Amino acid sequence: MPAYKDTKRGTWFASISYSDAFGKYVTTKKRGFQTKKLAQEYERIALLEIQQVKRQSVILDDLFKMYLEYKKDRTKPRTIYNYQMLYNKQISPLLGKMYVDKITIPIIEAFQKEVLKQGYSNAYSEKIQTVLKSTLRFSVRKLMIDKNPFDYVDYVKNHNEVKKEMLFYTPEDFEKFCSVITNDLHLLLFQTMYWTGMRISELQARTWNDLNFRTRDLRIHSNFDNKNRVITNSTKNGENRIIYVPSKILDDLQALYKECDTVAGFNNNFYIFGTNKPIPHKTVENAKNRYIVAYNNMHEDSIPKIRLHDFRHSHVSYLANNGADAWDISERLGHSKEMVEKTYSHMFPEKRNKMKKLLG
């Protein structure tokens, strides 16, 4: 093995070339050896260590591909899609070409600083960090690294973030919204969202088989994945449920069923809002926006521009303000009681009234 004489210092040095953590070819020198033999021995050991690392190493991009392949049989397609999009946009450009066993705590902390600079919401920043941490945890399970460096790093977040206000329609607001709807199917669709609290993806997946007119029960056991355009066999959080359908929309749903039953080829596998395909998310979103604009253009008092998911919040607000407790609401939404209390605590008037009485 070659070693080189440092004529100025009268000592020997070794020159070693290898690929760094990003696969870039670099050369480093180690000086100060008293003999040529010591410089050669150092070079020999260093090259052996580098070659050993290279045999066991994999870049993060390749690790993530293995991780997604592993998750495909254990996670919903929509989740896989979201992981892939987030990784490609937020993680791969910074760390994708780095060898996994070269990712250290300082590298993760530097990555977190870059994430914070982007000004994302804390919820989105947490998702980015979770995907990276989970991917590295997978490499530990596959014996590629001994420890996950992310286990020794706390998540970062923007402590100055202002939490967005949860929007919802009161019954009065909703009546105003409905007053400008000219399409009967659209009217029934939004009424169903408002009075059942279903997610839009749950409403899209409902077929006539799910609705029992006699018992007034609606089974919610599936979800429409709008990204992959497929029906999944469970709801978003995996909590299937049966909910009661109020009479104010049941009669209209029954009238719609009778109308659909006159169409050739109709059967109970057809979607309630749609035919043999669910109504597109974009169709509902555009209709909602159009009716809000129409009302606000026609009236001095305006109604807020809410999201489709805010119809679910509106349902919770109605229930909470009419005496339903967190347990009842959790069963109807398919959430845990704790999650309902945490998310919607501000909507329970009896708690505010209790505090007023307590404080005087």
DSSP string, 174-219: HHHHHTT---HHHHHHHHHHHHH---HHHHHH-BGGGEETTTTEEE
DSSP result, 26-53: EEEEEEEESSHHHHHHHHHHHHHHHHHH
Cβ atoms of 310 and 303 within 8 Å: the answer is no
- The ranges assigned to domains in the chain are 4-56, 60-152, 171-355
306 vs 351, more confident: 306
**Highest-confidence range of 9-18, 46-55, 74-83, 200-209, by mean pLDDT?**
200-209
Question: Sheet containing 4-6: which strands, arranged edge to edge?
Answer: 4-6, 11-19, 25-33
Domain 60-152: which CATH number of 3.40.190.10, 1.10.150.130, 3.30.70.60, 3.40.50.150? 1.10.150.130
Least confidently predicted of 11-20, 242-251, 317-326, 335-344:
335-344
Could you count the other beta carbons within 10 Å of the beta carbon of residue 288?
A: 23
Query: Which of 92, 31, 38 shows the shortest CA–CA distance to 64?
Result: 92
227 vs 89, more confident: 89
Q: Write down the pLDDT at residue 350.
A: 56
Query: Which of 195, 194, 193, 221 shows the shortest CA–CA distance to 207?
Result: 221
Check residue 304 and give left, alpha or beta (phi > 0: left; psi -120 to 50: alpha).
Answer: beta
Opening angle at CA 79, ends 73 and 83, nearest 5: 105
CA quadruple 245, 246, 252, 257: dihedral, nearest 10 = 20
Cβ atoms of 313 and 168 within 8 Å: the answer is yes
CA distance 145 to 136: 9
Query: Which of 272, 152, 144, 266 shows the shortest CA–CA distance to 205?
Result: 272
**Highest-confidence range of 88-97, 310-319, 344-353, by mean pLDDT?**
88-97
Rounded mean pLDDT, 96-122: 94
Task: Categorize the per-residue pLDDT at 20 as very low, low, confident or very high, splitting at 50, 70 and 90.
Answer: low
The per-residue pLDDT of the chain, averaged, comes to 86
* Homologous superfamily (CATH) for 171-355: Intergrase catalytic core (1.10.443.10)
pLDDT tens per residue, range 261-300: 999 999 999 999 988 899 999 999 999 999 999 999 999 9
Q: For strands 11-19 and 4-6, give the pairing.
A: antiparallel
Percent of the chain residues topping a pLDDT of 70: 87
